[in-house]
Structure 1
Amino acid sequence: MDLLANAFPMLAKGLGVTVLLGVVSFALGSALGALIALARISSIRVLRAVAIGYVSVFRGTPLLIQIMVLYFGLPQLGVQLEPIPSAILALTLFSAAYLSENFRGGILGVDKGQWEAASSIGMPYWRTFRRIVFPQAIRIATPAVGSRFIALMKDTSLASVVTVVELTRVAESVGNASFRYMEAFLLAGLMYWLINTLLSLGQSVLEKRMGRAY
């Protein structure tokens, strides 16, 4: 209990940084992922090729490598990023690749008859997408997107390798100072579990709410 009392302020501060990394990266990754998903289903070959290449690279390489390339590699090209911006950029690019596939799956999961019905009454493509397809696609993709958000929140722990003082980094510091690594990392694990439990509950509520109309 003494370790918890002494370390709690630092762990709470690290938790705040973890939540910041996760929420900002998820929001930016969702926006970028949506654009990539649209490029994947585009009739323009160049856009499709770029989107496929992007997804292949960022899904096919470890997030840890991506973080280290951005933080340690970019300075060789004259681009210097602070630890938190570099971590957010890496998490955003990484999550966008997975979220784009979640969104694409949701879009493709909407019955083609919806497109055809809208086209038969003269509704333009983008209006059809915005008013008819997109709301249904989001409902279909919500479970996968929610799972990606939970996974991303855990992935933020990798930011500790570039000196971001988030929850894992704080737990390591507490362990180094007290030599009580077991308790320190169990406390950090408990905090991650609580965050993701709350996110899971929120996801369940959201899914039920979005499914009422169907």
Structure 2
Amino acid sequence: MTVLSEWGTYFPQLLQGLLVSLRLAAISLGVGIPIGLALAIANGSGGRVVRSVAVVLVEIGRGMPALVMLQLVYFGLPSLGVSFASFTAAALGLTLTTAAYTSEIIRGGLQSVPAGEVEAAEALNMSRFDTLRFIVIPQGMRVAVPSLMGFSILIFQGTALAYTIALPELLATAYSIGSSTFRYLSVLTLAGFMYVAITVPMSMLTERVELRLSRHL
């Protein structure tokens, strides 16, 4: 059997695993980024207690490897009487990691907004909420978008860690096929190309978005 014919045989199963990986990444980013925004706002403009809580949560999330976070959610929480299915546990673990890292990315974007614009909003008697909603967040997120897109690629690649908690994502599917056929090199190579087929276009898109958003500079 040639390599191409092997790939044709493995592709449908690997495609199902890829779809699981994409869905996991989408949920982690879709939930994690808004939480990261909330943490960034709390860290930058919240009260002393709120800021301290936000800093602790962010530092724990950034300091704990994503693999440990997944293991903690899937294997650790059941000892407290809380258990999740593998997909839910993976989504929760990666969401927490996403929230922590994107919080710092977004905070940097928010801090890039010129202080003069915030002072002008205060002079116009705008509330702090309106200043955030209409001035700080729109401009700050514009700065943060390219970095958030780059981080999204890392999270998609990070979904491969979910194979350690028995989630049938792309890497776990490739291992499963390899264990039954003993054609590890062939199937893992195809899985690698499938990851590349997603990450390379995303990297190119990130560069184009970054160039487009920086035209005004």
Q: Which sits farther off after the overlay, 170-179 or 3-12?
A: 170-179
Structure 2 unaligned residues grouped into runs of 5+: none
Code of the residue aligned with 2:88 in structure 1: it is P
Give the whole-Å Cα distance in 1 for the aligned partners of 2:135 and 2:35: 21
Identity %: 38
Code of the residue aligned with 1:171 in structure 2: it is A
Question: Deviations along 1:16-69, whole A, 9 cap, x unmatched?
Answer: 000000011011000110111111012401111111111111111111111111
1:114 aligned partner: 117
Matched position secondary structure for 1:164: coil
Matched position secondary structure for 2:45: coil
Alignment check: 8 A CA contact 1:11 1:171 kept = yes
- Superposed, 1:23-38 pairs within 5 Å as 23-38=26-41
Q: Displacement of 1:135 after TM fit?
A: 1.5
Q: TM-score, normalised by structure 2?
A: 0.94
Alignment check: 8 A CA contact 2:25 2:155 kept = yes
Give the whole-Å Cα distance in 2 for the aligned partners of 1:194 and 1:171: 16
Length, aligned pairs only: 214
Give the whole-Å Cα distance in 2 for the aligned partners of 1:43 and 1:67: 29
Give the whole-Å Cα distance in 2 for the aligned partners of 1:125 and 1:142: 23
Matched, 1:16 2:14: no
- Superposed, 1:1-214 pairs within 5 Å as 1-211=4-214
Q: Displacement of 1:212 after TM fit?
A: 5.4
Q: Displacement of 1:211 after TM fit?
A: 4.4
Q: Displacement of 1:120 after TM fit?
A: 1.3
Question: Deviations along 1:109-167, whole A, 9 cap, x unmatched?
Answer: 11111101111122222112111221110111112111110100000000010100000
Q: What do you get for the CA RMSD once the two structures are aligned?
A: 1.4
Give the whole-Å Cα distance in 2 for the aligned partners of 1:43 and 1:156: 32
Alignment check: 8 A CA contact 2:146 2:209 kept = no
